Copies of this chain bind each other. A is one copy, B any other.
Amino acid sequence: MPKWVYNFGAGEAEGHAELQGKQEELLGNKGANLAEMASIGLPVPPGFTLTTEVCSHFVDSGSYPEGLKEQVQKSLQTLESRAGCKFGDSENPLLVAVRAGGRASMPGMMDTVLNVGLNAKTVEALAEKSGDERFAYDSYRRFIQMYADVVLGIDSSHFEKMLRRAKQKRGVNEDHELGVEDLERLVRDYKTKVFVELGAEFPTDPQVQLWGAIGAVFKSCSSSRAKTYRELHDISEDAGSAAATVQAMVFGNGSGPDSASGVAFTRNPSSGDNHFYGEFLLNAQGEDLVGGIRTPAELTMQARLAHGNTLPSLEERMPKVFRELVAVREQLEKHYKDVQDIEFTIQKGKLYMLQTRAGKRTTHAAIQIAVDMTNEGLITKPQAVMRLHPSQIDQLLHPTIREDAKKQVIAKGLPASPGAAMGKVVFCADEAVQRVNDGEKVILVRSKTSAEDIHGLHAAEGVLTTCGGMTSHAAVVARSMGRPCVAGAGHLEIDEAAGKLKVGDVVVEKGQKLTIDGSTGEVLLGDVPTVVPKVTGAFRTLMSWSDEYRTMQVRANAETVADARLAKDFGAEGIGLVRTEHMFFVGMRITAMRQMILASDTRDRKDALHRLLFMQREDMTELFQIMEGHPVTIRLFDPPLHEFLPNTEAELSYVARAAGVPVDRVRRRATELNEANPMLGHRGCRLAITYPEICEMQTRAIFGAAVEAGRTAPSKKFPVVEVMVPLVASVGEFKIIKQIIDKTAAAIQKEENVNFEYRVGSMIELPRAALQAAKLAKHAEFFSFGTNDLTQTTYGLSRDDTGSFMAEYKAKGIVACDPFVTLDEDGVGELIKLAMTRGHSTRPDMKMGICGEHGGDPTSIDFCQRIGLNYVSCSPYRVPIARLAAAQSALKARGEEVGSPEIRAAKPRVPTFGPW
């Protein structure tokens, strides 16, 4: 006969030792924690738990398993003897609470019935025994209301209304001000209401009540409410089975000055401060606190003073009980090694613990608590590092709207790239650049963006689109550039011709200020104040501990001075990807770039390149200076040239004017350069093969900057320059380009009479490059996996074009997650591993890293660690995330357990963004 029921109480818990590690699975989170508390000697009212297996049996077959009734009766007898009273007894009646506890914690989702066992006889006995008639009828009233709601399915609002009327009649505000007579009348009225609604009498047999409550609890776990919750929180249906715990009632709703119910967190769950944090209500049962019907009092005097609460704190009102509770708090934290969310009841001056569970907390608090607990010796440093899900800290790394700011939200879109940004509204990329050159800040507003808008995206503070989703072009590019983005704000209407943005009655004209919050998707009118993030205090400590365990390097993708500084502040150990073309999108550079593309002869082209050379050298010098000796990995020009030329007539003539050429020539050149599949076209190293002068110019700029940075450095040391060749498909390409680079480097070393080291590496972003890795490694000195392109080509999937079907692919379970967000280990991952093996077979000490979008995704970072990459490179804003993820991955490899119980129970709700 399987064991269906487990007892607890009187300082022990049945089967505690055997169940180690699977208590929650079998007893539900609530039953398991009660048993746990009982086993460590905390004052827990005795009880027993019907396992989740009973629930599964009940849900599947609609009936209880054989032998259950007998086991429950036996446990009930044990309970009676422990509680010193008898269920249904007309003199000394035992009342019980029946509570649901899911395998996963689903607060507020599962049903509970309190005070089970009351009827006309037992209520009298309760009154007699307690000498508190009001308390007895209060309990009876509560029981009928709760049982009718949870078990009989009669809407609670009927009873609320009747309760309200009774208080009005009596002229009082609060429940506990009702007298015995009022309550007796309410009980009668409630029973009548039940009869009317149900067509049957309210059950009076305690056994009928008990099994009714147990059945309701089991049913509640398959309610649509619970299902929705599990969906929202990514809890599997399998983890949805509940256990039912039957526990002797203790009463906080007695009438005296020494009965109360309370809830508390062992530490402040918002700030993480190590202060006991909670509240209680005199003469109340637990649900009164949850319902918020009266103002509760604070636990501690300190909190009362801080909040200006005039009600005496528990510390002041019941110092002895308070001391007991403080001791419980300490014992719980020592036992669970985590912050606890507890419920307790004080019955005539005696403390009872009704619940404990890992406390939900803000990211800020989670960090503070992890660090404090380590310093207190409760947990180890590795445990502290494992306590957070890396993506949780994303919210700490972006500018946020100030909490006290006045906000006028005019629309809501998708939170496509986190952070808040403010600027003047512009509708066209070129105008964005123009205004930014004039010293203004802009928000670029478009129905959707394309490659031709990149310079505008770069110039803007943030991007707002009315079409497209989380992986639309605007979203992806904005994330890659660390620009906030709200995408697909469909209620907004753009009237570009009139220079207006409309939503309902609100009209925003071009040039007016707008704020967007890419973390929430909100679009706000005007200039809303924001707060800039800092890595300080406990956060800084936790990050430094992460670095102690981390074995993989974390670099940043950055090309602007601002991004490079931010990356450094956030702990980047170098730059893993400088997208040189991004430097060409800014200000005068784009004009020179366009002149280069439009040049009709070699002289014009060389002229334009010469101007670009000076500008690019200056940019590079600054990057080297900021990175002071950390490696800087520079990717040669990558995108197809037509990204620099516009398509619309208005923009064409603007460009023609700026470049000083006839509009026809711009149009012709744009048409000439137009490609059927630009992603697979004339780009990457293919450009360096056909336009070696661009490669020469860039190489000259890079090494010129290296010399300049070395000479001006306090250490006089030259920077570590790594040049990488994009979109390599064959060894021949790499060899030709490496020759250009080596030749230029030699020329500059001779001209400047210096000697600097540099490395030339290959990007591996095409399947063929991965396959050819052994041969490539003969010439390439490092590999950088460009996982964006590698995912595109391995899947044959353009990231810009997945919008029309990716949602359906996820819904049908074809992909578990967007392969552009989390690296596809099966396909893309295999190619990476293969390239590593082959590359190392030729050059065993070769450094390899990734610089694709996945470099900032924790799951992908874990993969990188497992396969032994040397570094990941990600958006500056994700550097701390990557540091933490890499540390956790290294610790996991050492056998450390991931996450707190809270994190293990449910996946984080924070959406995982895919930055570059």
A680 to chain B, nearest CB (A): 4
Give CA–CA (A169, B679) in the complex, Å.
75
User: Using Cβ atoms and an 8 Å threshold, which residues of chain B touch A793?
Assistant: 767, 793-794, 796
Asked if A98 is an interface residue, CB under 8 A from chain B, the answer is no
Contact flags A711-746 to B (C-beta < 8 A → 1, else 0):
000000000000000010110110010000000000
Which of A40-48, A608-616, A800-808 is the interface stretch? A800-808
Q: Is the CB of B789 within 8 A of A766?
A: no
Knowing A793-B794, A814-B689 touch, does A676 contact B800 (C-beta < 8 A)?
yes
A682 contact from B727, B768, B804, Cβ within 8 A: B804
Give CA–CA (A812, B800) in the complex, Å.
33
User: Using Cβ atoms and an 8 Å threshold, which residues of chain B touch A733?
Assistant: 814
Q: Is the CB of B680 within 8 A of A727?
A: no
**Main DSSP-derived SS at the A contact region:** helix
Asked if A30 is an interface residue, CB under 8 A from chain B, the answer is no
Knowing A794-B766, A796-B789 touch, does A732 contact B801 (C-beta < 8 A)?
no
User: Using Cβ atoms and an 8 Å threshold, which residues of chain B touch A826?
Assistant: 768, 771-772
Contact flags A545-573 to B (C-beta < 8 A → 1, else 0):
00000000000000000000000000000
Asked if A293 is an interface residue, CB under 8 A from chain B, the answer is no
Asked if A681 is an interface residue, CB under 8 A from chain B, the answer is yes
A743 to chain B, nearest CB (A): 16
Which residues between 801 and 833 of chain A lie within 8 Å of chain B, taking CB atoms?
Answer: 801, 804-805, 808-809, 812-815, 824, 826-828, 830-831
Q: Is the CB of A794 within 8 A of B768?
A: yes
Q: Is the CB of B676 within 8 A of A804?
A: no
A135 to chain B, nearest CB (A): 59
Asked if A690 is an interface residue, CB under 8 A from chain B, the answer is yes
User: Using Cβ atoms and an 8 Å threshold, which residues of chain B touch A765?
Assistant: 796
Asked if A473 is an interface residue, CB under 8 A from chain B, the answer is yes
Asked if A792 is an interface residue, CB under 8 A from chain B, the answer is yes
User: Using Cβ atoms and an 8 Å threshold, which residues of chain B touch A676?
Assistant: 450-451, 473, 678-679, 798, 800-801
Knowing A768-B827, A812-B736 touch, does A800 contact B689 (C-beta < 8 A)?
no
A680 contact from B682, B686, B689, B797, Cβ within 8 A: B797
Q: Is the CB of A813 within 8 A of B732?
A: yes
Smallest Cβ-Cβ distance to A789: which chain B residue: B796
Give CA–CA (A772, B682) in the complex, Å.
29
Asked if A195 is an interface residue, CB under 8 A from chain B, the answer is no
Instruction: Please indicate which of the listed interface residues A679, A680, A682, A797 has the most CB atoms of chain B within 10 Å of its own CB.
Output: A680
Q: Is the CB of B680 within 8 A of A801?
A: yes
Asked if A675 is an interface residue, CB under 8 A from chain B, the answer is yes
Closest 3 CB pairs of A and B: A680-B798, A732-B814, A677-B798
A676-B801, A689-B814 are known contacts; what are 11 more A-B pairs with Cβ within 8 Å?
A: A676-B678, A677-B680, A689-B808, A729-B827, A766-B794, A767-B796, A768-B794, A771-B831, A772-B826, A792-B796, A793-B794
28 A–B contacts from the bound complex (CB under 8 Å): A450-B676, A675-B798, A675-B800, A676-B678, A676-B798, A676-B800, A677-B679, A677-B680, A680-B680, A680-B801, A682-B801, A682-B804, A682-B805, A689-B805, A689-B814, A690-B804, A729-B795, A730-B827, A732-B809, A732-B812, A732-B813, A732-B814, A736-B812, A767-B793, A767-B796, A768-B796, A771-B827, A772-B827
